[in-house]
A and B are shown apart, each in its own frame.
Chain A
């Protein structure tokens, strides 16, 4: 075998993307996992995508990652969320067959050129005194050398599972916690914090009274997640909806003292957007029901995932409470729900490339950085994998997506500049340039960037270029067709009588003018394929807002280009408050823009930093000039 250049530890969603991305760059890559068969496993709910998350999946796909394709290969229900709202906030989501998903990921990885898989436990990371990673030590004592390393080991750090009053140290149920690596991170002095998350019990579908429940179908025809998928082949399944009721709430209230969250047994902070059913009942006592989605886990399994009742109450209480719910009166619990507490590395230890600031060549991605969700993990894995690959190729690791380019950029920038108080999950509200970061234009935004760095296959590149030129053609056509306001008003279309001609492209984005109306006026519009017309419409719809944001984006990028000198000592900058200094010392921002986004950095403090950087630049030039 050729010399290993990149090692990826962990075979979850982050690890899979990282390994595949590094290998796509042509770098000899090894993925080390404890169990080969668990690669690509969906450990939580059997769904991919959603709002914000669907955007992430499309962006991963635009850079030729695995997730969207695996989702299309395993999806048993496809639904675009927010269809009634505008295209910028629509998010594609699927229910996956767990086995098919895992199979799809494994198949891709096993066939990937430049990638080999190794079953082993990593005990330690080897590192030169100068702070450069050189390899890993396996539990067998064997050393494997590398030029870059991506750590994607999820929630293994001091993981504790809570089920009622019982506590079990573990990664996930059935996984061994890795002690060696935990010590390694401690040795390197990475800052850690504690978080908590939970899962619901898994139910036996054979024991559910389906007939009494509200059925939720997927979209027909299903809209694929990957830009490369033309059609979905799998048989489709429905989800079902039920609700908790006052009896359920009474059971929970009565047993609260047995819940580790309320007994004080759990110290970690749980996510507010994914509260346990205990939390919901306590915090929203006035609500007399909470919705539950019964999601199928696959085509050939009876296991059902009841989305909405994550809990860590004791197993017997869990049974009691689920059986109080309509349709679940006789349900059998296959595995009880539980809460897990774990340490994560403070992502402010990382750069925007996801390389650690302390150790060159050492990257981290996935839940270990404090995020939750497959999509968030996969997205980081992809970026870390590409940058690790660049290190191995002896190039500058500088593959960064900025906040105006994609949700991937929003996520990573948030992670590395802000303190996390709960597991980080994507929301569309986190993206200030939301109107231009749509799930339907991720390829337009990112694929070319991927092609330039070398992580996109020839096949995708070809398809993408064809699509882009088709859209351009369609937009040109639509922009050439023009009519004056008076001509339009004769046709019954009311616009401002300002004498300025309106193009078909402009009119297409108007909410009151349908495609049909446009076709009546200009029959040639009919020659534009439906899918491109739709994209043009979405572009046109937000055009005025996008233009308005251009100045903001320009200012943002300008600040992003003001780079602090390497190893800048923020304590030496006079005039900053102690709070600001502390925040800057923790995050060690690399640019003025990043500094300005750190909570606690006021615009005034940013001005001081700007002055400081400018003054230093002048001083340096002066010294160079005289010396």
Chain B
């Protein structure tokens, strides 16, 4: 996708049409010329005023207009906001009038925020948070994205950055000022500081990937023998006909995903092919896919029916911490034969479905509710922090082995570089500031 930053971009910033009002946002060098084009007078910036929008002599709409002069705007560029009436014809007329002029084009998705990042109005982690906030569908997702917009990750990573800079600076001081009464003990005490930082970052990383799961959805694979009622269950949970249901075993072949909101947590539930030995190559491919999806899932919902052979469950080695075993079709059983330890339900007669939902919620919240809110919401962050952590560990090892300080410094340089990918690059001046602040150096 090629984006030309010299263009002025415009887009409908609000959602559905036919709403009472709609916001058209315009950002770029030509934003202020909008007033001229649409025939109204530009008022003082950041002040709302009412204007008649015109295309030449043709009146288009009466709108509320606000102009933000860059850099004091969302994107850092000149921004014009036109709050027009929400009809499709109105919006099209205004946008067409502007586009006729040339130099204006419709924004790509996310382009306003992208410009804000490029103009230094927000850091990348916040922009990612904004994107997530826009995408947020469940309450927990909203809370997490807002925390990121609010700087949760920036704040914590900045803390780590500060510690890393301090450690690196002390090593640099030891290297660069030999005659200056910087004792070797400066280095030894750094081992402890490195340990603290290592522990902090590890703790941050060791969040059970809750942030990413929350962002992407908690993945539950529904598996079981053919005809157990897996498709019936998925359709019921997602309240829509995701899969075909039939009494013929081996109906479902592909993995079919549906998303649902389970107590505020986003869950992706997958209907899969029934597991059995088959000679049909298509069915076998389906079974392979089912097993693969289940392998990477956060949880398996193993659905059995009364006629399922005893060895089936054993082969799947269910883990009570993360898997849920459910027996379906209990309507076919005499009452007294129900086993207490497995969750027993009937999708047909709607028996035990509340218990099923609670069981699922319990599995999800076991994983998702931690002592501390997760701050890492993306693989990109995790990778950068992991490589930062590895470098600090190497630095510590080098230090403890008594390797030369410049080797320790080299590893630390690598660590701050990785951290920089999350919270901005570390410059020599950052190090020197600490060196001269912490040591009385120089002649």
Contacts and interface: CB of A to CB of B under 8 A. Distances in A.
B119 A576 contact: yes
Interface residues of B, number: 44
Contacts of B70: 578
B100 to A, nearest CB: 21
A575 B436 CA distance: 37
B179 A604 contact: no
Contacts of A280: 440
B436 A272 contact: yes
Interface in B176-195: 176-181
A580 B443 contact: no
Contact of B4 (A272, A275, A574, A604): A574
A308 B443 contact: yes
Interface stretch (A80-88, A135-143, A386-394): A80-88
Nearest to A310: B443
A472 to B, nearest CB: 25
Interface stretch (A287-295, A320-328, A454-462, A489-497): A287-295
Find the residue from B172, B406, B409, B427 having the highest chain A CB count within 10 A.
B406
Among B407, B432, B441, the one with the most A-chain Cβ atoms within 10 Å of its Cβ is B407
Contacts of A432: 413
A86 B7 contact: no
Contact of B441 (A273, A428, A604): A273
Nearest to A431: B428
Given A81-B178, A575-B5, A602-B120, A273 B405 contact: no
A333 B431 CA distance: 38
A192 interface: no
Given A283-B440, A429-B172, A577-B76, A293 B179 contact: yes
A274 interface: yes
A430 B428 contact: yes
Interface string A39-63: 0000001000001100000000000
B128 to A, nearest CB: 13
A574 B427 contact: no
A615 B435 CA distance: 43
Given A576-B119, A577-B71, A272 B442 contact: yes
B410 A435 contact: yes
Given A429-B175, A577-B76, A604 B405 contact: no
B406 A86 contact: yes
A85 B174 CA distance: 10
Nearest to A308: B443
A106 B428 CA distance: 37
Nearest to B402: A511
A89 B119 contact: no
A545 interface: yes
B360 to A, nearest CB: 42
A577 B440 contact: no
Given A88-B406, A430-B428, A575-B115, A290 B440 contact: yes
Contacts, number: 118
A432 B431 CA distance: 13
Nearest to A596: B425
Contacts of A576: 118-119
Interface residues of A, number: 50
A216 to B, nearest CB: 9
Contacts of B424: 602
Interface string A418-458: 00000000011110101100000000000000000000000
B6 interface: yes
A427 B440 contact: no
A574 B28 contact: yes
Contacts of A287: 440
Nearest to B403: A511
B314 interface: no
A291 B179 contact: yes
B442 A605 contact: no
Interface in A77-119: 81-82, 85-86, 88-89
Interface in B413-443: 413, 424-425, 427-429, 431-432, 435-436, 440-443
A291 B403 contact: no
Interface in A601-626: 602-605, 607-608, 611, 615
A427 B176 contact: yes
Contacts of A578: 70-71
Given A272-B442, A575-B5, A608-B5, A428 B176 contact: yes
Contacts of B71: 577-578
A599 interface: yes
A371 to B, nearest CB: 15
A434 B119 contact: no
- Report which residue of B175, B405, B431 has the largest number of chain A beta carbons within 10 angstroms of its beta carbon: B175
A586 interface: no
Given A432-B413, A574-B5, A604 B175 contact: no
Given A89-B175, A429-B409, A603-B425, 4 more contacts: A85-B175, A89-B404, A434-B410, A576-B118
Interface of A: 45, 51-52, 81-82, 85-86, 88-89, 271-275, 280, 283-284, 287, 290-291, 293, 307-308, 310, 427-430, 432, 434-435, 511, 545, 573-580, 599, 602-605, 607-608, 611, 615
13 contacts: A89-B175, A284-B440, A291-B181, A310-B443, A428-B176, A428-B406, A429-B409, A429-B431, A511-B403, A573-B5, A574-B6, A574-B29, A577-B119
